[in-house]
Structure formats: structure tokens, C-alpha cells
Structure 1
Amino acid sequence: MPQTWTQLGSFMASVMFISAMFTRLFPPALQAHLKMYTKKFFSLVYPYIRITFHEFTGERLMKSEAYTSIKIYLSEHSSQRATKLKGEVVKVKDTSTPLILSMDDNEEIIEEFQGVKVWWGSYKITPRTNTFSWYPFSDEKRYYKLTFHKRYRTLITESYLKHLFEEAKAIEIKNRQLKLYTNNKTRWSHVVFEHPATFDTLAMKPKMKEDIINDLVRFKSGKDYYAKVGKAWKRGYLLYGPPGTGKSTMIAAMANFMNYDVYDLELTAVKDNSDLRKLLINTSSKAIIVIEDIDCSLDLTGQRKKKTEKVKGKEKSSTKRGDEDDDDDVGSKVTLSGLLNVVDGIWSACGGERIMIFTTNFVEKLDPALIRRGRMDKHIELTYCCYETFKVLAKNYLNVESHHLFSRIEKLLEETKMTPADVAENLMPKSLDEEVESNLHSLIQALEISKEDAEKKKAETERKESNVQESKASDKLGEGMEENGIIN
């Protein structure tokens, strides 16, 4: 053994000496030619072809679909052969195996396809420098490498890879779990989406609910139609109405019905329009992109100019006392035009089968350009609880479809305004032994109190208006008497 290590050390020292002499004695042009001919020589001797599939494409703006498909395929087929594995617990319906295993970094496996061996390797490159990079993505570069004999080139590139992508798609559908994403600058992070809302439990008028379901079904099956008319395969929904009318619950029901991931886009966390585009590009197809309370997210109207001037004034004054807190003053620079480009511009066509949803409590505050038809294709007003909505809630919370108190509740709902959230809170049993009738009486009492409060508020408003009118009339009379010289 000592003799072997001595010979190996002598060989390595000889190689390093020859390499140093080659670099020093031969000019760069000759070195390039020699390297080129060396590669050609080894290509004749080395009979294998290697294909690399990188995680990101287009200067790392978009995640490679090929890489994702390979990852899914190998996670299903590599767990029995790889010695280094990564484990991830997932919650998938109708499965008793919540643990998904996949190849770890820098691991290799051998697979056989129609009697031909192929080698798969999973690799990660971590740069030694620039640890704290400003770049929004991690500096780590991951990729898969496929190696096979060159005599099987046609079989692998035409048959094997096609088989791989088709099987990966089937595996993805089988193991699919919905995700809820949130953004931090230009990166998405996610948790499992487990909201139980469905259209069956959604408190809404049946006719309106049926109309929304039909619209979603048409969209999901409309890929060829959108291509025919020359439009990006996307659809916009504007949900508006008072707080507590079920806007967020409807989004969850839509996600469960369509089996789409949800991307909760927080505009205040986005630095500028460029970062907004990067976020959009990194959303998958079959996704619902949500901007809740868009009227409160950012100032996207003409008031932005005043806000910008105010920020500039702060910047000027800060030069006298120092430069601290500058970043907090500037905030997000996302503009209305940048948001419109994402919603309905060229960048909106980066990916297909996406739904964009805006929610607001005050639709009149939004810029008309933002919610016009074509951008927000369908406007859905969610209003206060009506009798039809109440019956859905009674079925959900109390499991009753009729009761002698329903007629009293129907009349009160016509006379007062109460949100579905407030109605549901009054219907929810406070204990397991509580009877249905006591819950309905609780709702009736809440409705009567709400009706009395509304009548008092109305009377107070009328009294104030009457006082204002009397005051105006008195002032007008006084002015008239003064003009006529009655009052000196």
C-alpha cells in the first residue's frame, strides 16, 4: 500500500509539471488548437452522449418544465436504486404513503429502457465567491445529466424522453397537492393549500353560483378557443362587496373546483415593475393569482404623483440629518402601467391556464383602466346575506333545510343588512348539545338588534340633515334681512 501511494504521488506530480510547462511554453492560440483536437480525439474514443437539463432557462427567469418533469419521474423510479435520497412529507388524497423520496444532490442511478442502459445524475454547483449576492435567485445551480451510448441516440431522444415526460405528467396528476404561495420580493414560498371551501358549501344565490361554475368550466376547456381568437389563455375576475361577504372563501372554492394552485401576490412587498414581471414568470400554469384588497395594496391612481413628491421632500430633508431610513421612505415603485402590463400586456402571455382575481371593498376607488372588460373579464358583486344565502348557511351549520322560524328570518333579512359572515357566526352552535331552534332564535335576535341600530342611525342621519337644512335656511333668511336693511 505505501508503494502504491508513492507511485500515485509521483504520477500526479508529473501531470502537474507537464501542465505547467504546457501553459508556459505554448502560446494561447496554439493551446486552444491543441485543446480542440484533444476533444475531437476523445470524442472518437469516448462512445457516450451526455444531455444536460438545467433547472432554469432564459437567464434563470423561468423554471424549466423539462427539469421539473425529470425530477418527478426520477422521484418515482429512483428510490429503489439510489443510496442518497431526499424525503418530503406531502398530504395527498387517497394515499397511505405521505413520504415522497427523490434523488439527493450529486447522486447517480442507472436505468434501463427497452434493454438499453442510461445513467442519470443529479448535480448542484455552489459558487465559492459572492455568497451574499443581490441576485434574487440562489447562486446554486442544479441540473440533471443523462448519459447513454451514442448508438442509441434516436431511441433515447425520440422514444425514451417522450415516455419520461408522459409518465411524469401522470405521476404529477396522481400526487398533485394544491399549494398556497406568497411572495418575498421576487421569490415565492409555499405551504400546502388545505382550505375546505367548495361551491357546495359556498353561501351564494344558486343562480349566481351556477353561472360562475359554468364560466370556470368553459375557461378550463377553452385552450383551443383562446388560441383561435389570438388571446392569452387567462381570465380575470373582480370580486367586490362589503367585508364579510365571502370574497376569500369564493377564491378557495374556485381553487378546489379547478384544482389550481393559489398565488397570493402582496404588491407592497414588490420593489418595482421588473420584480413584478419576474414573479409572474415564476408562477406555474393551472394557477389562480390573487391580489386582495387591491384598493389598499398600493396607490395606483393619480395620487401617486403627490406621494412621490412627498417622498422626494423627505429625501431632501434627510440630507440635513443623515441618510437613515431612506429605504423605508421609498417603498414600492410598482406603477399602474406595470400592473396593467402584467394583467393584460405582453408579459401576461408567459404561461397559460391562469386566473387573475382582484378583490376590493370599494370598487369605485379603482382606476377604470384596471377593471375594464378584457382585463377583469367577469365582475362579481358579493352583497349582504339574502334568504337564499341563509338557507345554504343553515344547511351547512345546522343541517336543516326548513323550519317554522325561517319565515321570520326571511322577513328580517329583507329589512336589514347583515353579512354572511355575521349570519354564520350566529348560526354556529356554541356547544354540541345546543338545539337548532336556539341558534335560529340567536340569529333572529341579532337581526332585530341590527334592524334597530340601522333605524336609529337612519333617524340620526335624518335629524342631522334636517338641522343642516334649518341652519342653511336661517343663514339665508338672515342674509336677506340684512340686505333689506332690517338688521343694522
Structure 2
Amino acid sequence: MGSSDMWAGAGSALASLFVLFSMAKSQVKVTLWFNKIAGYFNPYIQITIPEYGAQRFKRSDFFVAIEAYLSDTCAQGARKLKADLGSDRSKPQAAVDDDQEIVDTFHGATLWWYAYKEMPSHNIISYNPGDDERRFYRVTFHRRFRDFVLGEYVPYVLNKGRAVTVQNRQRRLFTNNTSGSWSSYGQKAFWSHVEFKHPAKFETLAMDPTEKQSIIDDLVAFKDGEDYYKKIGKPWKRGYLLFGPPGTGKSTMIAAIANFLDYDVYDLELTAVNNNTELRKLFIEITGKSIIVIEDIDCSVDLVGKRKVAKAHKSGSGCEGAMDKMLPKEANKDDKEGAKMTLSGMLNVIDGLWSACGGERIIIFTTNNKGKLDPALIRRGRMDKHIEMSYCRYEAFKLLASNYLDITDHNLFEQFGEIQQLLEEIDMSPADVAETLMPMSRNKRDAGVCLADLVVALRNAKEDDEAAKMKEKAKATEKEEISMEE
């Protein structure tokens, strides 16, 4: 082929591309002109809300709120419904199905909602939500209501839909998956969940009534404090440290808080987290209205390293030595590009820049030994409220007796007045007291028999405690005598 033929072919191709570009441009102009002309004759405006918006892998909050609003407010006018079990799992919960028109009226304005979906024009294999089919809501209204719909109706639908979603949702208990099972396609890869059905509540929680009320007041202030947190410039989160010996009700307290606030629970297993990067990814996927729990944090992973004790340099200002004292040991080491999880990484997600990713969260640490935790981890501002879960005392015992034996008779309590004295002298956990009071444990039905058994158990515990003290005293005396002879 000659050079002239080659250049002729290239020119022909360019001319074809120019013609196609001109046609496409003209088509766009024609469409714009058509829409403009139609606007003069059609007085109605449409707003379309897709299921997946800017956050590609997450359903639009606006779409979910509309779905809840229409199902709650306009379901009676729909001819096609879809049903699932509601939050109590005992009766069906109806929702508006796709491909139909739903009419809504709001302060004199009539609005027409359409729920529909579009299938792709060709067969595709996709792992991304929304690529295989696209669902939309479209609302149509007269243009004279434009400002009213955008300024009042749409915010009303959004707020009402969110409230319905919270009311109908089934609370869940999450646990984190190992990073080997992760993918890049949303929360399901990072967390697995089951229904949260724990029955604990503050009314049945055995602890000092004054302390219990203080916790309830603190939770109410937090839940209603969104505007306050914005005002003072802090992320909307709060930290609780539950500490005390085993059996004192730390896990029960967490369940009671979740039921009181109606929050989901994320049980974070640190041994399944390899490094700081994975920890941040897990925290990003946690939704609002959630409790993040790390139980037995002193035993989970090595986040309790001792702080370096470094002497300030004799020459100079001594600032380097002071900084060594202030920083955790892990902060002075290279993180090896995220090769491990460090104390500084944990501090960053609970109280650093990453802590502001998501709102209305409570972070709870539990430990049997508060003294083993690094002070930086539990200081005020990170763990805002320290709650000691103590041994069972008389006020807690009376609540347990009421819960387990259905007794509030003071005369019956007076018959076993020794219990009050023994509980002040003996450290017995609420779990041990409850096990003694539980009638089903020994086929007991009589409250007096249960209380008598508790007296025996407390006496035995007191004798064991006194014997242990005598033994320790004898050992100390023996060591002292050996030391004097030497």
C-alpha cells in the first residue's frame, strides 16, 4: 500500500470520527432542547434517589430511610408488598415492593412515589453491589411545591424513615473475622453477626443502687448529647472501663447497657487483628449506635507494655529524656510498616483522628486487674468513666433475692439477718450468690431453704478465709524467726 493510500485511509477514519462526534453532540443538544420544551408543558418535577450513591459499596442512607418511611406510612395504599419477620421475630413486617406507584399527601401537597429497578442491558459478572441490578425511588410533584418539598417534606421523610428503621431493626452482636477472609466489598467481609438476644437489664443488675443510677444518668446524657459534643468539638463517643474480679457482672453490665440504649454490640477480638491497619479498617466499618467491646484487655494482646524509664541527658535541655518517659515503649519502635498492632495504634482509633469516623459510639474495656493496664490506655478522655464491679453486698443481695426467689418480705430477711453481716465480711461474687439462690440448681422451691443454704455457704467461706489468713500469718512468723536466727 502506498503512502497516499495510507494517508487517505487515515483521513477517512478521522472524518468518520468527526461525523460520529457531531451526531452525538447533536443528539445531546436535541435531548436538552426536548427537555426544555417539555418543561413548558409539563408542570411536574421528578427527583430520583438511587440505592447506591457516592459510597459505592454501601446502601444510601437516604434510600433506606425512604424505604422505611413508605413501608410505615404508605403501605396501606400499596398493592404489592414484601414481608419478613420483624425485630421481635414473632410477626411479619410488611414493606412496599418494587414496580408500583404510591401516593402520599403532606400538608396539602400530593406526591407520587415510584419504586422500580433496572437490569443491566448485557450479561455481566460483578462482585460490586448495585452493578447487577439498580434500584431507585422516584418522587413526582407539582413544580409549585418545589421549595416546600425540598425544604420541608424531604427532611421530614428522612427523619421519619430513620426513626422507623431504628424502631424496627433487630439488634445484632458482631465479631470480627480474620483478615484472611477479608475482601474489599463491605462490612460483611470484616464482621460476622448474630441476633443480640441477651435479656439483661438494669432493673435486674445486682449492684449498688446509687452507682447504678449514676451509670444510667451518664448513658442518658451521652445519648442525648449530640449537639453538646459538637459544641465542645469532640467526637460523639464515650469510654467505659469495667474492672473487678471474675463473676462480678462485667459482661452482664455490657448487655444491660446495650438493651438500655438499643445499640448493636461489636465484640472486638484483638487476637485476630494483625496490625494497626487492620484495626483501623475494622473501626471504619462499625456503624453508629454501637458498643465496641474489648473484654479482658489485659490478657488479649501485648498492649500493656511498661513505659520506658529514661534519665534525662545531663547536658542540654533534657527534653529528649522527658519525651522518652511520656511515650509508650511501642511508640519508640518502628512499626515495620504495619507489621504488628501497637499501643499507639489502639490509642489512635479510640481517641485519635480515627475515633471521629462514625458517631454515637461507646467503647468498653473490661479487666480483672486494672493495675496491669497502661495509664495512657485508661486515662480520662479515653475511658471517661471507671466502673468498679465489686463483690456482692447486702443491697445487691436483696435485689438478687427478689429476682431469683420473688421475695421482698422484710420479715423473711430478718430471719436470716446474719446474711447482711457475713456479706460485709466476706468477698463473694454476685454470680456465686446467685447460683446459691437459684432454686432450679438443686430442685429447691422454698425461699427459706435457699437463704439458709446461702448462710451456710457464707459461713464456710468465712472459715476458709480465716484459715487462709492464719496460714499466711504462720508463714510470715516462720520467715521472721529464720531471719532472726541468721
Provide the TM-score with structure 1 as the length reference. Answer: 0.74
Q: Which position in structure 2 is the counterpart of 1:219?
A: 222
Whole-Å separation in 1 of the counterparts to 2:368 and 2:46: 59
| Structure 2: unaligned runs, 5 residues or longer | 1-11, 39-44, 179-188, 307-327
Q: Which position in structure 1 is the counterpart of 2:61?
A: 65
After TM superposition, give the deviation of residue 462 of structure 1 in Å: 3.1
Whole-Å separation in 2 of the counterparts to 1:278 and 1:159: 37
Q: Which position in structure 2 is the counterpart of 1:6?
A: none
Q: State the Cα RMSD in Å.
A: 3.7
Q: Which position in structure 2 is the counterpart of 1:385?
A: 392
Q: Do residues 464 (structure 1) and 475 (structure 2) align?
A: yes
Q: Which position in structure 2 is the counterpart of 1:164?
A: 157
Q: Do residues 423 (structure 1) and 433 (structure 2) align?
A: yes
Whole-Å separation in 1 of the counterparts to 2:396 and 2:240: 21
Q: Deviations over 1:431-455 (max 9, x none)?
A: 6662111101111121122222222
SS in 1 for 2:202: coil
After TM superposition, give the deviation of residue 242 of structure 1 in Å: 0.4
| Structure 1: unaligned runs, 5 residues or longer | 1-22, 132-136, 313-330, 478-488
Please, which of 25, 31, 38 is the counterpart of residue 42 of structure 1? Answer: 31
Q: Which position in structure 2 is the counterpart of 1:360?
A: 367
Whole-Å separation in 1 of the counterparts to 2:300 and 2:268: 10
Does structure 1 retain, via aligned residues, the 8 Å contact 2:112–2:141?
no
Whole-Å separation in 2 of the counterparts to 1:122 and 1:465: 81
Whole-Å separation in 1 of the counterparts to 2:256 and 2:241: 15
Q: Do residues 205 (structure 1) and 208 (structure 2) align?
A: yes
Structure 1 residues 459, 472: closer, same or farther in 2, change over 3 A?
same
SS in 2 for 1:434: coil
Give 1:281's aligned amino acid.
I
Please, which of 88, 91, 94 is the counterpart of residue 87 of structure 2? Answer: 91
After TM superposition, give the deviation of residue 426 of structure 1 in Å: 0.2
Q: Identify which range, 24-33 or 455-464, moves more after superposition.
A: 24-33
Q: Deviations over 1:224-266 (max 9, x none)?
A: 2222211122211110000100111111222222222222222
Question: Identity over the aligned pairs, expressed in percent?
Answer: 44
Does structure 2 retain, via aligned residues, the 8 Å contact 1:236–1:377?
yes
Q: Which position in structure 2 is the counterpart of 1:409?
A: 419
The 5 A counterparts of 1:9-408 are: 31-32=20-21, 34-45=23-34, 51-55=48-52, 57-58=54-55, 60=57, 64-76=60-72, 77=74, 81=78, 87-92=83-88, 98-102=91-95, 107-113=98-104, 114-122=109-117, 128=124, 144-147=135-138, 152=143, 154=146, 157-158=150-151, 160-185=153-178, 187-302=190-305, 333-401=340-408, 402=410, 403-408=413-418
Q: Deviations over 1:348-367 (max 9, x none)?
A: 22232222111111111111
Give 2:165's aligned amino acid.
E
Runs of 4+ in 1 over 6 A off after TM superposition: 23-26, 124-127, 137-142, 303-306
Q: Which position in structure 2 is the counterpart of 1:326?
A: none
SS in 2 for 1:358: strand
Structure 1 residues 79, 29: closer, same or farther in 2, change over 3 A?
farther
After TM superposition, give the deviation of residue 470 of structure 1 in Å: 4.2
SS in 1 for 2:155: helix
